Structure 1
Amino acid sequence: MFKGLLLSCLLIGGFCCSCSKKNNPAANPAPPAKVFYNYNTFVMGSDLSYVNEVQDYGGVYKDSGVVKDPFVIFKNHGNNTVRVRLWHNPDWMKALNGGKMYSDLYDVEKTIQRAKAAGMAVNLDIHYSDTWADPDHQSIPAAWAGLSLSVLKDSVYNYTMAVLNYLKTKNLVPEMIQVGNETNSGMLWPVGKTSGSDFTAFCTLLKSGIKAVRDFSTTSTIKPQIILHVAQLQNAAFWCSKVITNGGVTDFDIIGLSHYSKWGTINAMADITANIKSLKTTYGKKVMLVETGYAFTTAGADSYNNLIDASSMVAGYPITQEGQLAYMKELTQAVINGGGSGVMYWEPAWITSSLKISLGYRQQLGKYVLIRFWWQYFTGNRLYDLGV
């Protein structure tokens, strides 16, 4: 069923009725109407960075057995925001893909165009690297190697401005911009790497990227909200204190968090709510999960290793379709209860195909694909904290 792909429609539980109930409207109330939220009310988003590449390599997306554009599938099921990563110059991909690069500016342009054509907002995730940037990898782009901090901060500014100005010429300005990805220990290593409590160089680089977005916004109808990104809730308080309180980085809009139970020490829903509430209250910023996910199976579907296994399970949420749905529903409610502003699922459309990935990041994603669009369960009375 999942070979080649399937993103199935949400199963809105049917029910059996007796003949007498079928003829009695009072005994057969209509199911609640679906509520589709604007991203400014609450972000219900997905990172779809791999879709172009997957489709180029034979991936097929279906909704109820019908082949459809995956961006339209997501939109039709309540997704209101698409996240897309941008690498500076991923030249290393050419050897894997017949000379073609992905996650460069032109691939990102295509993703944003597809997202906006389907009626969704966009979160542009600038990695400031030629490859994956995360807590353990923040490699400086090859073109910037050896630059001093004073020159590098200008490079960050000019590059950020150039990207946004290019997208503006295409009428593709993103609604949100991430200045860095999972920057727990800084970015643009070694210059911007943090050392203990010393975040000075990193904060200088952040401020430069932020200034570029703000300066761009003065000439743009769409004024992107700025997201700063730290991985895992247990790291957020320390990181925010060093960046915001000590580092003086205050001109941004959203504290973005990665939350994966496999690497998290804060997994109880009540604790997630408490941490989000604390961050929002302490710093006066929106708080959002910009990356999360939960598995529905540990079975394999190709020759690659599984990233998620039984040890990743959170108590009370089995690694099944039902467990995945329950986890995502309750995680989203936990974010809402804490006053958070959104949840983005990481790469739910990354499916098994013939595409080639290096650096150990290729894992069997069949078990990680979001099969049920949990946000459709959040009808008006569920989002009570949002007043909608």
Structure 2
Amino acid sequence: MIRRHPVRTALSALTTVAVACGMVALGPAAPAAAYFGEAEISPVESDISEKPWVGVEVSSGASTAHLAIDGDDRTAWVADDPSATQWLTLDLGGAYDNVRKAEVVFPDAGAVYQYVIESSADGDSWNLVADHSANQRASRGSVDLFTQPGTRFVRVTFTGSSPGATVGISRLGVYNYLRDDLVLGADASWVDNDVVEGREYWVSPAERDPGAGPHLLDVLQDRGFEYIRLRIFNEPRSESSGEILPIAYQGPERSLEVARWIKAERDLGLGIDLHYADSWADPAKQPKPRAWAELEFEDLTRAVYDYTYDYLARLIEQGTTPDKVAVGNEVTNGFLYGSEAAVIGTTDPPYFRDRPEIYQSQPGGGLLWEYWGSEDPEEQRLYEEAWDRFTTLSAAGISAVRDVSADHGEEIGVETHITISPSRPDRALEFWDRYLAGVNAKGADPDYLAHSYYPEWHGSPEQYELNLNAVAAAHPGYGIEIAETSYPASGGGGAPMPNSTYPRTVQGQADALQHVFRIANDLPDNQGKGVLAWEPARWQSLFTPVPGTTDVWEPNASIDVFALSRASHVLEDTVYAATPAGEPVALPESVEVLTTADGSTERIPVAWDPVPRDAAGRLTVHGSTEHGRVTALIDVVETHPRLDCDRTVTGWHSGPLTVDEGVTCLDGATVSGPVSVGAGASLQVDGAVIAGPVRADGAAVAVICDSRVSGPVTSSGTSSVSLGNPLLGCAPNTIDGPVTVTGTHWWNVIAGNTISGPLTCGDNARPPVNNGSANTVGGPRSAQCRDL
């Protein structure tokens, strides 16, 4: 595993969060104005529910379940039965340790929803995230903060809803934040050249105090980089001529010194990337080093082992034990090419092509993808033999890392690093299946499966995320890393790179890099372990030369993504509310904030912008807190939801009225006899006069508003009861007789009524409430109705 380093703690003390415009800015240690360009950088946040690997299960209404996670508030999962306990469960596809926020949005404005939100690691044992089961306020949703490492499932269970509400969910978001153990760093091997060439890097070169520098590593560490990878060429040579370079940049000897700069002097994480070549090795070229070019295969295997063991031993002995070693670089097509190059058809580097009698005289570790899936027995044999040679050489390198670690009592991770072609992602899956089976059979195994990501070669971020997730899902026992990535801040007239939507600007550079951070962080089961920028001072650079100077460079503002992408606090950043038209809007004076370091929550004050007057529909009001911006989404409603009537009775109705199915509505009616509601049926009364008693037995819904009943009102086993509820526009009633409500298991409100007889309530799932509108009762109040 990659070791964590104290830079994170030290750095956090130097950063501040600016709430203006929601922007996160660096504090006094490095004024953002000293950077080149501008970038607004906020902590990484992603809604896992939007990921294609997330599943959803529901208690009913399965045909619409997917609409709860389609990202569109205008669509919704709708349960089949609005008066029974219903639930929706998200399966995030794996565990997440830094999910901190859930947001649920319901279909109806002006309705009241009662519910609980829970999380689980296994789908069997559940932890309470939020309890809204006593809610009586209309709103379309809520944002709830929580800390439950290992969360895989998130469930919303309805416990009640106001009559007529659509029981369902328009959107359920579950938000993930960048983990502390996701390592952010860079391959900065050219720092070797920088020192010799006299390049200087300063955080704020134009300031009286220029900040960290002039060493590139000091600036990187100051700006939040935790880990530096070094590529190692065996005997550095010119790519074109094959001649030994006069200065052996990135060679073993020079890299020993660079390792001391990284590990011994700055205590940064150290990665070693063994190219096993004298010049660049990548998917297009994997030349053997000259010293090994004519070795027979058995001797070549021994050379890989000995070289790896000996070099790592030297690093360990000088006190710079690497945290991780890559056995080969971007070995998608194998490495240490030999005679099989004739089939592969490789022509680079020129010295490899021009001297085949040396470099191609013996078999090597190149893969023969041309024969993948061939039905020709001879081609299939050659394909299998190439895999065997490649995995034999790889296993030798892995075994050397394991042996030198054990012999010196150290722990060093092992990485294998490839690329994924956007046009042939199945090749990456075939690679890992073959590779892991091959090295495992030879007693070796890496810890990390690493991949490069450059959009111009590896597809859109969305496409790459799908491909990386497929690898992670196929091989859950391994850490997944993005070992190389970058994005330019200039060029192309600012137009995005191929397969990207981010402009080539400083802001675009910041946004593109944060997207890659999210991809790694959002892999299920916390499989993503790190992201490294490739050569941030030289390639698609995070630095810009300072005008009027020679070899002096300053960071782009985008560099702060390495320091500011982790959230120290998570805010209840959206408030949902509903208000009747013409009434003042009441917004909360405070919202909740969660401190990620310890999972604690507290309420902090909000300063709201003025609320627009005489508005209709949905209002958006912004507010600010010490930890960022808050948005209130307020639905101004003309009427609250009511039941849909199957039968409407108006005017005079003589004699008894029986409701034995569907929904019957009494709208201003006068009924001269008793009213009875049977099992599963519903009654909605508004502005009526009823001469006889009203009785509901096992009914679905019973709603009586603004009416007069001359006789007792009795409800037994009804799912949802509303006897007055001014809060939702159901005016109080006058009831000349006793009221008895028992066995209600869903919604239960008795509010503002004048009751001449006793009020008796018992055996209800929850005691009825009056929502602040006390009842006037002529007789005794008993049991659950005592406080109404």
Report the TM-score, using the length of structure 2 for normalisation: 0.40
- Which has a greater percent of strand? 2
Aligned to 1:187: 335
Q: Which amino acid aligns with 1:200?
A: D
Give 2:227's aligned residue. Answer: 81
Q: For residues 240 and 351 of structure 1, do their structure 2 counterparts lie closer, same or farther at Cα, with a shift above 3 Å needed?
A: closer
Shift of 1:312: 2.4
Query: Does the residue aligned with 2:559 lie in a helix, a strand or coil?
Result: coil
Alignment partner, residue 448 of structure 2: 254
Q: How far apart are residue 108 of structure 1 and its match?
A: 1.0
Q: Which residue, out of 204, 226, 229, partners 2:414?
A: 226
Q: For the Cα contact (< 8 Å) 1:124–1:178, is it kept in 2?
A: yes
- Preserved contact between residue 278 and residue 289 of structure 2 (Cα < 8 Å): yes
Note the C-alpha offset of 1:377.
2.2
Shift of 1:385: 12
Q: Give the deviation of 1:141 after TM superposition.
A: 0.6
| Offset from partner CA, 1:222-248 (integer Å, 9 cap, x none) | 311000010236353232122124564
1: CA distance, partners of 2:254 / 2:470: 38
Equivalent residue in structure 2 for 1:205, among 393, 404, 407: 393
Q: Match for 1:373 among 560, 568, 576?
A: 560
Q: CA deviation at 1:75?
A: 1.2
Q: Describe the SS at the equivalent of 1:274.
A: helix
- 1:380 to partner: Cα distance: 3.9
Equivalent residue letter for 2:507: E
Corresponding residue number in structure 1 for 2:467: 275
Q: Which has the higher mean CA deviation after the structures are superposed, 370-379 or 176-185?
A: 370-379
Counterpart amino acid of residue 225 in structure 2:
N
Quick check: 1:110 aligned with 2:257? yes
Q: Structure 2 vs 1, CA of residues 251 and 299 (structure 1 numbering), >3 Å: closer, same or farther? A: same
Matched, 1:287 2:480: yes
Paired residues for 1:99-138 under 5 Å? 99-116=246-263, 117-138=265-286
Q: What are the residue-to-residue correspondences of 1:1-388 with 2, within 5 Å?
A: 15=20, 41-65=181-205, 66=210, 67-92=213-238, 99-116=246-263, 117-190=265-338, 191-196=364-369, 197=372, 198=383, 199-232=387-420, 234=425, 235-245=427-437, 248=440, 251-265=445-459, 267-269=460-462, 271-283=463-475, 284-298=477-491, 310=495, 312-338=497-523, 339=526, 340-350=528-538, 371-375=558-562, 376-380=564-568
Residue 226 of structure 1: SS of its match in structure 2? strand
For 1:342, what is the secondary structure of its paired residue? strand
Superposition RMSD on alpha carbons, in Å? Answer: 3.7
**Aligned partners of 2:301 and 2:396 also within 8 Å:** yes
Amino acid at match of 2:419: A
Say which is worse superposed, 140-149 or 239-248, in terms of deviation.
239-248
One-letter identity of the residue aligned with 2:187: D
SS of the residue aligned with 2:394?
helix
**Cα distance in 2, alignment partners of residues 285 and 385 from structure 1:** 27
**Superposed displacement of residue 221, structure 1:** 3.7
Q: Secondary structure at the match of 1:262?
A: helix
| 2:332 alignment partner, SS class | coil
Moved more, 85-94 or 45-54: 85-94
Structure with the bigger RCO (C-alpha within 8 Å, sep 6+) is 1
* CA distance in 2: counterparts of 1:323 and 1:241, whole angstroms: 36
How much has 1:186 moved relative to structure 2?
0.7
Classify 1:88/1:12 alpha carbon distance in 2 versus 1 (closer, same or farther; 3 Å). farther
> 3-state SS of the aligned residue for 1:228?
strand
* Separation (CA, whole Å) in 2 of partners of 1:386 and 1:131: 45
Gaps of 5+ in 2: 1-13, 22-40, 44-177, 339-363, 373-382, 541-552, 571-594, 600-788
For each residue in 1:36-63, what CA deviation from the matched residue of structure 2 results, as whole angstroms up to 9, or x when unmatched?
Answer: xx99911101011001212311311111
Contact conserved, 1:54 with 1:350, CA < 8 A, in 2?
no
- 1:96–1:172 CA distance, 2 compared to 1 (3 A): same
Question: How far is 1:111 from its partner?
Answer: 1.6
- Farther-moved stretch of structure 1 (86-95 vs 133-142): 86-95
After superposition, the C-alpha distances for 1:152-184 in whole angstroms (9 at most, x for unaligned) are 100000000110111122111101000000101
Deviation at residue 282 of structure 1 after TM alignment: 1.7
User: Cα distance 1:62–1:318, how it changes in 2: closer, same or farther (>3 A)?
Assistant: same
Larger helix share, 1 or 2: 1
Q: Distance in 2 between matches of 1:299 and 1:261?
A: 15
Counterpart-to-counterpart distance in 1, 2:486 and 2:204: 23
Q: In structure 2, what is the Cα distance between the partners aligned to 1:118 and 1:71?
A: 8
Residues 175 and 222 in structure 1, CA contact (< 8 A), matched pair in contact too: no
Count residues with an aligned counterpart: 340
Structure 1: 5+ residue stretches without partners = 1-8, 17-30, 301-308, 353-365
SS of alignment partner, residue 218 of structure 1: helix
With over 3 angstroms needed to count, the CA separation of the structure-2 counterparts of 1:207 and 1:386, relative to structure 1, is: farther
Distance 2:484 2:400 in 1: 24
Matched residue type, 2:472: K
SS, match of residue 372 in structure 1: helix
Offset from partner CA, 1:136-162 (integer Å, 9 cap, x none): 111101001121211110000000011
Q: Secondary structure at the match of 1:328?
A: helix
How far apart, in 1, do the equivalents of 2:179 and 2:458 lie?
Answer: 26
Contact 1:348 1:370 in 2 (8 A): no
Cα 1:88/1:385, change in 2 over 3 Å: farther
**Is residue 305–residue 400 contact of structure 2 (8 Å, CA) maintained in 1?**
yes
Judge conservation of contact 1:295–1:369 (CA < 8 Å) in 2. Answer: no
2:237–2:243 contact (8 Å) kept in structure 1: no
Task: Report the Cα offset of residue 91 of structure 1.
Answer: 4.2
Larger Rg: 1 or 2? 2
1: CA distance, partners of 2:328 / 2:202? 33
Distance 1:351 1:291, change over 3 A: closer
| Conservation of the 8 A alpha-carbon contact between 1:161 and 1:213 | yes
